[in-house]
A = this chain, B = another copy of it.
Amino acid sequence: MIQTPYLLFLGDAPDQLAAKVAQGIKDWRPENAVGQFRMEGCKADMGLADMSLKEAKAAGAKTLVIGVANRGGIISQEWKKVLVMALEEGFDLASGLHNLLREEADLVAVAEATGQQLHDVRIPDVDYPIANGIKRKGKRVLAVGTDCSVGKMYAALCLDKAMQERGLKATFRATGQTGILITGGGVPLDAVIADFMAGSVEWLTPDNDDDHWDIIEGQGSLFHVSYSGVTMALIHGGQPDALVVCHEPTRDHMRGLPGYSLPSIKQVEDMALTLAQVANPNCKVIGYAINTQHMPEADAKAYLAEVEAKHGKPATDPYRFGSDALVDALADMT
């Protein structure tokens, strides 16, 4: 686990989009973000207090999180000056970049000298078991998508937030780098060795109270030929009791695969449910999380009504219109 709270490092971000990780932390775990650290020329702003390292330390920050991706995902010399100073000030560092902190000899040397931790959430730091398929206590809901990047993480975080607000027992379980940095822990599933994928998901979602829900972040899609194996491991390792099908209606082909059209919601629902019932015969689809960010509000609402009418279960854009109907369905199951 990464120590919280964080100081968010925005570096020399060329625009707001480049600071996606920082944005996620600020949106979903604002209590984890003490302030932001921006270098000269930084074009991103989380609306947090700009702090020096010393100020952030005094305010209680324990880890400097690299909340920005620069071109090529590398750690630049300009960044390093700040990172080295942060270690010397007593911060741990956390990063989801492909260029690992531990690959940089100078950072490793300073971390050792200062006794601070380098957290590379890009790759696992646990020896996961092979999945045993044994039924676990507690409940689990998994987001599955018609495609990659259709809003599965946001849907899961929305559910988590809504359940916390209702006083229900729930834990968001991160399976990707951004989710891990947001919450401080999880499994970087895309970097796990094939044989241990499903086992890592079992490890992430252990026995729990009967009325506790693990809200498992989805990855990939059963219909995305590059990443479907990862999705499969989530379905079997997660042994979900409930599935939420996620979809982005304006996309004209699978992400990164120009020749591949998206499956229908129905196709994903049927396939995911059949496979999920191998591990959990009682699994059911409780509804649909539709990412309507590219649709005007009236169109979005009409589309959601259409999905509900067609499939007979609640459909919402949980980020835009809330997730009450989905939370109701989960609450009904415990």
A residues with CB within 8 A of B? 130-135, 189-195, 197-199, 222-223, 225-233, 235-237, 239, 254, 256-257, 259-260, 263, 271, 274-275, 278-279
Is the pair B198, A225 in contact by a Cβ cutoff of 8 Å?
yes
Is the pair A191, B191 in contact by a Cβ cutoff of 8 Å?
no
Is the pair B226, A130 in contact by a Cβ cutoff of 8 Å?
yes
Chain B residues within 8 Å of A131, by CB: 225-226
Is the pair B275, A229 in contact by a Cβ cutoff of 8 Å?
no
Is the pair B192, A225 in contact by a Cβ cutoff of 8 Å?
no
Is the pair B259, A133 in contact by a Cβ cutoff of 8 Å?
yes
User: Which residue among A134, A192, A198, A259 has the maximum number of chain B CB atoms within 10 Å of its CB?
Assistant: A198
For A233, give its contact among B134, B229, B263, B274 (CB under 8 Å).
B229
Docked complex Cα distance between A222 and B223 (Å):
14
Chain B nearest CB: distance from A129 CB in Å?
A: 10
| A134-B259, A259-B133, A260-B278 known; A194+B225 contact, CB < 8 A | no
Docked complex Cα distance between A228 and B222 (Å):
12
| A191-B194, A193-B194, A194-B233 known; A226+B259 contact, CB < 8 A | no
For A195, give its contact among B134, B227, B239 (CB under 8 Å).
B227
Docked complex Cα distance between A191 and B228 (Å):
17
Is the pair A228, B233 in contact by a Cβ cutoff of 8 Å?
yes
Chain B nearest CB: distance from A158 CB in Å?
A: 26
Chain B residues within 8 Å of A257, by CB: 132-133
Chain B residues within 8 Å of A226, by CB: 130-133, 195, 198-199, 236
| Cβ-closest chain B residue relative to A197 | B229
Chain B residues within 8 Å of A228, by CB: 198, 232-233, 235-236, 275, 278
Is the pair B198, A278 in contact by a Cβ cutoff of 8 Å?
no
The 8 closest A-B pairs by CB, nearest first: A229-B233, A225-B236, A229-B229, A232-B232, A131-B226, A190-B195, A133-B225, A229-B232
| Cβ-closest chain B residue relative to A254 | B133
User: Which residue among A193, A226, A227, A271 has the maximum number of chain B CB atoms within 10 Å of its CB?
Assistant: A226
Docked complex Cα distance between A232 and B229 (Å):
5
For A193, give its contact among B191, B236, B279 (CB under 8 Å).
B191
Docked complex Cα distance between A130 and B190 (Å):
11
Docked complex Cα distance between A231 and B193 (Å):
14
Docked complex Cα distance between A134 and B256 (Å):
11
Docked complex Cα distance between A260 and B280 (Å):
10
Chain B residues within 8 Å of A232, by CB: 222, 228-229, 231-232
| A133-B259, A232-B232 known; A225+B279 contact, CB < 8 A | yes
Chain B nearest CB: distance from A76 CB in Å?
A: 24
Chain B residues within 8 Å of A274, by CB: 271
Is the pair A259, B135 in contact by a Cβ cutoff of 8 Å?
yes
Chain B nearest CB: distance from A297 CB in Å?
A: 33
6 new A-B contacts at CB < 8 Å, known A130-B226, A194-B197, A198-B228: A134-B259, A193-B193, A197-B229, A198-B227, A225-B279, A271-B274
